[in-house]
Every structure is written in C-alpha cells, then in structure tokens.
Amino acid sequence: MNTLFDQTTINGMALQNRLARSATWEGMCAVDGKPFPKLISCYRDLARGRVGLIITGYAFVSPEGKQLPGKMGIHTDDFADVMKDMTGAVHEEGGKICIQLVHAGGQTDAGNAGRQPLAPSAVKIDQYPEIPAEMTAEDISRIITAFGAGARRAKDWGFDAIQLHGAHGYLINQFLSPLANHRQDGYGGSIENRCRFLLETYQAVRSAVGPDFPVMVKLNGSDNLEGGLSPEDGLYAAKALDKAGIDCIEVSGGTPVSGDQSPARMKIDSPEKEAYNLSLAGHIRAAVNCSIMVVGGFRSFAVAEKTVQESADYVSMARPFIREPALAKRWQEGDRSVARCISCNSCFKPGLQEGGIYCVVEKKEQEKK
C-alpha cells in the first residue's frame, strides 16, 4: 500500500516522497523575469523542508506571455547563471526542482505583455482583462518553438523536470476551452483540434529534452465554468497526452472566473472541504497509464495519505508550503497535525507591493512573540 513517504521515480527522477509543491506566483523576479536571490532562498527552504518535488512558479516562455509583475521568465539564455544557482541550491539540500512553463495568452494585459495580448480567438470573456488579438499561424508556431527553447534551457541549467501549465485559463487551456477558442482552422472546433496546440507544444518540449527526461503537465480536469472545458473533454486531453508519452499529469480545475470552484478556494477548515479536485483526478487516473498528481485544498495528513493510497500517485500543495516550507519534514518526523494554512489567500496580496508573497498570518503571529 502506498504511503506519503515512499521513494518513487518519474521517468528516472528519484523522489524522496509523494508530496509536491504546486506552482504559484511568487513575485520575486525583476521586471525582465530574472529571479532575485530571495526566490532562490524560497526554493532552498522548500528543499530543506523535504518537499519531494518543488514545482516552480510559472515561467513565461515569451515576453508577451507574462502576466504579473515579478513573474519568472525562461525566454532568454541571459539567465543561465542565476538559474544554475537556483537548481544548485535545491540540489545541495537533496531536493528536486521542476520548472513550470507557461504563456498567459489572453489572461494578461498590454501593460504586462508589452503589446496587445495574444489568444486563440479575439473574444471578450470574463477571464480576460481586455480583448486579445487572435493568434496567427505564425504566432502559434513561434510560441510552440518558445516552449521548446524554454525546455532546452531548463534541462541545460539543471532542472530535474519540465511542467507545462495547461490549466487555470492560461494559453494552453484557452485552446482547449470552447469558451475561449472560436477558431475555424485545425486548432479549433472539435476537441481533437482544440488539443492540437497542447500536443504540438508537448512534442516540441519532448524533442528538446529527449525521451529520458521527465515532462509533466498541469491540466484542468474541468474548467468548472459554463461553456468552458468539460470533464469529458478534459479526459480526452489527458488520454491524448498519455498516448503521446507524458510522464505525469497534475490534475487541477477551475479558472479565475469559476466562482466558488476556482483553483484556490478559501475557508478550507475541515477534511470534507479538502481534496476538491479528487473526483476529476480519479476519473483521469482510471483512463491513463502515466503518473497522476492532484492539487486542491489538501491540509491534513490523513486526507493526503488516503489520496495516495486510493486515488493518485502524488499530492501537491501550494499555500500550505507558503506558511510552512517544512511541512513535509514535520509530517515525516511524526507531527501529523493539520497544516497551519487557513486558506485566506492573503499570502498573495503583499506580493505586488512588497516584492514577494508570504504568509501574512504567520508574520503577524511571529511579531506578537
């Protein structure tokens, strides 16, 4: 029977446990996307805290794919030295680090993108700050190439794996969603066509890193949104990726406009409210052969342990590790009390003003001592 602290491998990448730090925006990079030393320290602390796999904050593969200030970039060879420092810091602590590659598509604005945003279709939907420009065939080819180039850099710089961000309303998810994708060419219409951008991006990444390097994807099992990606189409995408050779699918759900079914739900104060993407993950796991990771409101050891015993291969969390970078170490050493994260989402608010996310509640408690 699986346990949280089994040693496992994903396409040759050895992991010390089944706990992953899911990607989030940290806001700890310069305007051009170059990481600050505090981001390296953040990942070092997670590795020291025995997180099995650290998935970085989403890194834009092309400048117009940047969404927020302080977001990391992987679009230029100029960042080689600092990125090697980052991977080296994690490896010195015995950790493994996977970089998440993203293009925000229509889910950014001209101020951050430096131009009118690009998207599958020039439509105004709630998740878009402004009407984007419809991507041309040349745009599609260029951005797919940029994903491959980002993957090549990541491997060269010492990252242990690649994850494509195919969830939460970003560009890959926009191609998958009938709400965002109104194209009449080979990239729109049927679910087979809407998967084309995802699969071509995966193939570009796979070609860049080779068959023996872990390539993962964060995929919505459902957009939890009327007119968006349905569970049936999410399953189709997962099966297509599995057939193409993906090594691991991290199952998530929702977009920023999915209301109370968004990716980062609040007030998770009981076991019943945890693991809110578990049914989507189970649906996918039953149909594929690759490893399955699931994110979404995990707070208690018992729920996480039951998940890897019955429903998924790995459990990933983001907000609990913002408050407690050493949560995995605490659980492994026998303190199995619930994660201290109260799911208030206040950790993201200081990022824009103060140069990086942190747990506001934890800071206030420390100041009282």
At 298, list the tokens.
């995990």
Distance between first and last Cα of the chain = 42
Residue from 170, 187, 276, 314 carrying the catalytic annotation? 170
DSSP string, 137-199: HHHHHHHHHHHHHHHHHHHHTT-SEEEEEE-TTSHHHHHH-TTT----STTSSSHHHHTHHHH
**Residue 177 and residue 191: Cα distance in Å, rounded?**
9
**Dihedral through CA 224, CA 229, CA 232, CA 233, nearest 10?**
-160
Give phi and psi for 292, each to the nearest 5: -120, 130
Paired with 164 in beta bridges are 101, 217
What size, in residues, is the chain? Answer: 369
Number of helices and strands in the chain (H, E): 14, 13
Least Cα distance to 161 among 239, 60, 54 occurs for: 54
Between vectors from CA 96 to CA 91 and to CA 98, what angle results, nearest 5°?
Answer: 125
The answer to whether residues 279 and 238 touch, using CB atoms and an 8 Å cutoff, is no
Both structure tokens of 58? 């989403």
Q: What token pair was written down for 171?
A: 């560009």
Give the 3-state secondary structure of 106-146.
HHCCHHHHCCCCEECCCCCCCCCCCCCEECCHHHHHHHHHH
How many angstroms separate the CA atoms of 290 and 303, rounded?
A: 22
141: CB partners within 8 A, 6+ apart: none
User: Is 276 tagged catalytic?
Assistant: no
CA distance 188 to 41: 42
Residues with catalytic function: 170
